[in-house]
């Protein structure tokens, strides 16, 4: 199996594909696709398509098919999760200090203008989508951050591209992974779930087939703001970093965007919302870890553990 690692979307990307020359060509093509997509959907690049959309709130803006697809999916997930998934929290995210890329925050800290008072903002479902005219209008005062859902979308599309070169392949962006096919040795893909308290250690090993594995964590993208620890997962109900009883949630799902959204909303909603959220999506399985290192798993997650691994619960 061929593999390639590089850095994109402020995280480490790993591509893997079975085969020889064609697989290598596929790795290069997938890498170029990911780098191109980052240029379009990053909120940190002023010329990206997303930044331009945010700049022209209040007016109709013509967008690409891809951005329209992402916004349509986002709106559907917003309604489905009762607003727990909300891409329009960008002003709250900036207020919490996440107003530049995580690489810059790690190097230079947060900006001094952060921590202002929360102001009211329009609800995400007030966004105007015109699929026929391929146009979008953000209400005045709305800024959106596609963050995780865009990353998931890019990973799955890159995997589909890689799949045209190799029947068995995988794409991982910072541990958000999409697998195509099963490894040719007859096994399933092995995925180690990190301990959110100690990333060098593993709390579980999953054995999965084709599909997505995504983890949301509140221990990775963290910083200090006026001496207070902050993280990047905003609870839209309060406009502040979520105070969850879980540290990380790993979701196994057939599609990347579905896995991205549910990993995020399960982490924000915590144990109190898990049953309601999972009842509407029986196709997803999840593994959550709390501050004591205890694991909470959905019933259907058992099939992803080997018997030996499962004994540890």
Partner 1 sequence: MKLLKFGLRFWIALTSVFSFMVGWAMIAHSPKPVQPISASSSVLALPTLTPLQPLDFNSNTNGSQSSPLVVQSPSRFAQAPIFKTGGS
The nearest distance, CB 242 to partner 1, in angstroms, is 13
Handedness of CA 273, 238, 255, 309 (dihedral sign): negative
CB 161 within 8 A of CB 277: no
CA 65 to CA 85: how far, in whole Å? 22
Binding to partner 1 (CB under 8 A): which residues in 131-170? 132, 134, 170
| Binder of partner 1 out of 55, 106, 118, 190 (CB under 8 A) | 190
Q: Which stretch binds partner 1 (CB under 8 A): 33-41, 53-61, 115-123, 292-300?
A: 33-41
Strand-pair partners of 217 = 248
Pattern 228-257, binding to partner 1, x per CB under 8 A?
--------------------x-x-------
φ, ψ for residue 271 (rounded to 5)? -60, -30
Assess 119 for contact with partner 1 (CB under 8 A). Answer: no
CB within 8 Å of 14: residues ≥ 6 apart: 3, 4, 5, 170, 171, 172
Q: Which stretch binds partner 1 (CB under 8 A): 50-58, 216-224, 235-243, 304-312?
A: 216-224
| Binder of partner 1 out of 85, 98, 189, 305 (CB under 8 A) | 189
Assess 47 for contact with partner 1 (CB under 8 A). Answer: no
Assess 183 for contact with partner 1 (CB under 8 A). Answer: yes
| Binder of partner 1 out of 217, 244, 257, 298 (CB under 8 A) | 217
Q: Which stretch binds partner 1 (CB under 8 A): 29-37, 112-120, 122-130, 275-283?
A: 29-37
The nearest distance, CB 65 to partner 1, in angstroms, is 6
Nearer to partner 1, 6 or 58 (CB): 6
Nearer to partner 1, 202 or 226 (CB): 202
Region for 62 from its dihedrals, namely left if φ exceeds 0, alpha if ψ lies in -120 to 50, beta otherwise: beta
Binding to partner 1 (CB under 8 A): which residues in 63-82? 64-65
Residue 221 CB neighbours (<10 A): 18
Assess 54 for contact with partner 1 (CB under 8 A). Answer: no
CA 218 to CA 233: how far, in whole Å? 7
Nearer to partner 1, 219 or 225 (CB): 219
Residue 96 C-alpha from the chain's centroid: 19
Strand-pair partners of 178 = 171, 212
Assess 176 for contact with partner 1 (CB under 8 A). Answer: yes
Residue 151 CB neighbours (<10 A): 26
CA 177 to CA 191: how far, in whole Å? 9
Strand-pair partners of 252 = 213, 285
CA 158 to CA 161: how far, in whole Å? 5
- Could you list the residues that contact partner 1 (CB under 8 A)? 1-6, 10-12, 14, 16, 23-25, 27-29, 31-32, 35-36, 39, 64-65, 132, 134, 170, 172-177, 183, 185, 187, 189-196, 199, 202, 213-217, 219-221, 248, 250
């Amino acid at each position: 199996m061929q593999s390639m690692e590089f850095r994109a979307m402020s995280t480490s990307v790993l591509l893997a594909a079975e085969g020889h020359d064609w697989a290598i060509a596929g790795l290069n093509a997938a890498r170029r696709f990911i780098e191109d997509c980052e240029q379009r959907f990053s909120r940190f690049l002023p010329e990206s398509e997303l930044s331009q959309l945010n700049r022209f709130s209040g007016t109709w803006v013509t967008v690409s098919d891809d951005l329209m697809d992402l916004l349509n999916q986002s709106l559907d997930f917003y309604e489905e999760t009762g607003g727990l998934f909300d891409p329009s929290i960008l002003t709250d995210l900036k207020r919490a200090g996440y107003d530049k890329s995580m690489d810059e925050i790690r190097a230079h800290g947060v900006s001094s203008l952060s921590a202002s008072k929360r102001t009211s903002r329009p609800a995400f479902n007030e966004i105007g989508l015109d699929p026929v005219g391929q146009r979008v209008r953000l209400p005045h005062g709305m800024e959106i951050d596609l963050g995780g859902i865009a990353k998931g979308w890019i990973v799955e599309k890159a995997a589909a591209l890689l799949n045209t070169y190799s029947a068995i392949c995988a794409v991982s962006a910072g541990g958000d992974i999409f697998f195509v096919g099963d490894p040719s040795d007859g096994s399933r893909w092995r995925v180690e779930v990190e301990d959110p308290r100690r990333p060098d250690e593993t709390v579980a090993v999953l054995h999965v087939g084709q599909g997505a594995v995504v983890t949301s964590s509140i221990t990775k993208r963290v910083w200090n703001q006026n001496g207070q620890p902050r993280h990047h997962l905003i609870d839209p109900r309060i406009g502040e970093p979520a105070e969850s009883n879980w540290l990380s949630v790993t979701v196994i799902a057939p599609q990347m965007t579905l896995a991205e959204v549910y990993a995020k909303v399960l982490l924000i909603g915590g144990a109190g919302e898990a049953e309601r959220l999972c009842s509407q999506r029986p196709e997803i399985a999840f593994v959550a870890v709390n501050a004591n290192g205890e694991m909470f798993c959905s019933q259907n997650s058992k099939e992803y553990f080997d018997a030996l691994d499962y004994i540890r619960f």
